[in-house]
Structure 1
Amino acid sequence: MKKYSYIIIDNDAESVLKTRIVAEGFSELAFIASATNYQQGLNLVLEHRPYFVFLEIDSENTSSNLSLAFIGELYRYLSVLPKIIITTTTKELAFDAIQYGVFDYILKPLTHVDVVKTLLKLEKVLLEPKEQKNAIVEELAPVVEEKASELKIMPLDVQENLIPDSEETSIVVQETAIPHLLEKPLILCIKSYGDYRYMNAADICYFQADNNSTDIYLSSGEMVTAFKTLKHFESILVHPFIRIHNSYIINQNYISRIHNGNSVCYIKNSPKKVPFSKTYKANVDLIIANFSAGNYIEI
């Protein structure tokens, strides 16, 4: 069965979770990651090139900068855009969204039936070019067969395969590109006065703010200082990195325990406890949801 990858961009953690729960009811859909603001979302889309993007465009939290302008920014970098599915609470922006060529416009909360309709619409879009192609081949078949030997052209069944199908072509390009991007590990380079320090992002446990610099703690126990703010790292990093405190960004893959009562996350193979704050509690809830959405047993 064909798999369509998707990303959720929404600053509301509860909405992200609800959308993901509904989407996971469809074997055709494959979750990549989620983002809570404009920059994180842009980085995710450009890195992973998903087939679908569930996008909130009228967030109550203005600091997330989520709007239809996000789609306009994608046109700066991509010749083939993902299919954008707007998920929001009001119909007021529907006309504007159409002008941006969105694939679907769904009012929150997303339901099972909404996704069924979207996938049926996709199926129809994909079938129409094939039907047109078959009609052209059928119409030209008598003429082609009559002149084939004279013109020394290829057999009809070979010609049929050469008739372009732009939709299928774009899908093939995306599907062959995605594994390459996913398999290539992210390398973080800390540059300082001609000194280039390379580290695998997968080896980073967490980031800790230190005034205008940031301390990076690795799984080996080593610490490296970068002369960039924590906000800078938040803007360029995507899943599995997530901010849980004014002073901390954590790699979800290194969390061994989350204690809500004490507001701390425990790091694997380390006595270190990384605190989280009420401001970022929604992100911690999202981490818990991410764990439970995997191969998971709760006792």
Structure 2
Amino acid sequence: MKHSYIIVEDNIGAVKNLQYELKKYPDFYELGIYSCIQDALKSIVTNNPAIVFLDVTLENENGFDLLRELKTYSSNLPCFIMSTGDKNHAMQAVNLDIFYFLEKPIEPSELTKALSKYLMSYKETQQHIVVKEKNGSLLVRFADILYLKADDNYCIFFLKDANRLSVPRTLKDIEEKLPSNFLRVHRSYIVNADHVNMINKTERTMHLSHTSSAKQFESDIPIGENYLEKVRFVMKV
């Protein structure tokens, strides 16, 4: 698995030094270099890089503004690794959910730590989804999700332990973070295909069931007319 990145930096020397160090990591590849926030923003929205190496000071712009503006476009953000020569920016970086903070000049060993931390985080996201609620962030294992239901601008997780989790995110936002065994079957529903045990093509429903701790969970999920052919193809029915 290779991971893409862009560099947002207006200092040519700093760009070349970072490029030189990143060439030592064959699992990472460059999508582009940008020196202003608007160009970087367009690239992130269009190309969806995994990592953004972001300088705090960009001529007359502040790198933190890129992150703030991007949050108005999408809740599915790349990993931001920020660099600066000013240690005073470190606390602001933490408060804005910057993944890793590198002091300039960037030490090769620190870059290694940043990329290693990213890879560990990436591996974790292949098994979990991070959802935010009023009391903080939760890690929810994909295997524990039976199905998801849209509820206006909220998404309700129906879990194997019979609990429900209401998250202030749209179903579309959550869908972008789900692995391939999750299937959109209706404008309001996404199911974990691993828990589907019957599909009724006549009534356009699918039956989900799961037994846990002597409790039996069963539910019938409607299949939207526009999703029926996709369901037939994916589920081979």
How far does the alpha carbon of each residue in 1:84-131 deviate from its partner, in whole angstroms, 9 at most, with x for none? 000111111111111110100001222331221012212332455678
Residues 1:170 and 2:151 are matched in the alignment: no
Q: 2:102 aligns with which of 87, 106, 120?
A: 106
Aligned to 1:30: 29
Q: TM-score scaled to structure 2, two decimals? A: 0.53
Counterpart-to-counterpart distance in 2, 1:31 and 1:172: 24
Does the CA contact (< 8 Å) of 1:22 and 1:111 recur in 2? no
* Residue among 118, 121, 129 paired with 2:117: 121
| Structure 2 portions without partners, runs of 5+ | 130-140, 146-172, 181-237
Q: In structure 2, what residue type is equivalent to 1:122?
A: Y
SS in 1 for 2:177: helix
Larger radius of gyration: 1
Instruction: Answer whether contact 2:128 2:142 (CA < 8 A) is retained.
Output: no
Distance 1:81 1:130 in 2: 16
Shift of 1:14: 1.2
Q: Per-residue displacement from partner, 1:38-63 (whole Å, max 9, x unpaired)?
A: 1111111111110000001124x22x
Q: Distance in 1 between matches of 2:142 and 2:68?
A: 34
Q: Deviations over 1:230-276 (max 9, x none)?
A: xxxxxxxxxxxxxxxxxxxxxxxxxxxxxxxxxxxxxxxxxxxxxxx
1:88 aligns with 2:76: no
Decide whether aligned partners of structure 1 residues 10 and 107 sit closer, same or farther in structure 2, where only a CA change above 3 A counts: same
- In 2, are the aligned partners of 1:56 and 1:67 still within 8 Å (CA)? yes
Aligned 1:1-150 pairs, distance under 5 A: 2-59=1-58, 61-62=59-60, 65-128=61-124
What TM-score, normalized to structure 1?
0.42
Query: Residues of 2 paired with 1:115 and 1:89: CA distance?
Result: 15
Q: How does 1:248-263 map to 2 (within 5 A)?
A: none
Distance in structure 2 (CA, Å) of the matches to 1:114 and 1:78: 29
1:184-208 Cα deviation digits (max 9, x unpaired): xxxxxxxxxxxxxxxxxxxxxxxxx
Question: Structure 2 CA distance, aligned partners of 1:23 and 1:110?
Answer: 12
C-alpha distance in 2, partners of 1:71/1:132? Answer: 24
Deviations 1:60-79 (A, max 9, x none): x22xx133111010001112
* SS at 1:91 equivalent: coil
Between the aligned residues of both structures, percent identity stands at 21
The amino acid of 1:28's aligned partner reads: D
Change (3 A) 1:40 1:125: same
Deviation at 1:161, TM superposition (A): 7.0
**Which structure is higher in RCO with an 8 Å CA cutoff and minimum separation 6?**
1
**Secondary structure in 2 aligned to 1:106?**
strand
Local SS of the residue matching 2:106: coil
Q: What residue is the counterpart of 2:200 in the other structure?
A: none
Deviates more, 1:26-35 or 1:120-129: 120-129
In terms of fraction of residues, the more helix-rich structure is 1
Confirm or deny: 8 A CA contact 1:22 1:110 kept in the other structure: no
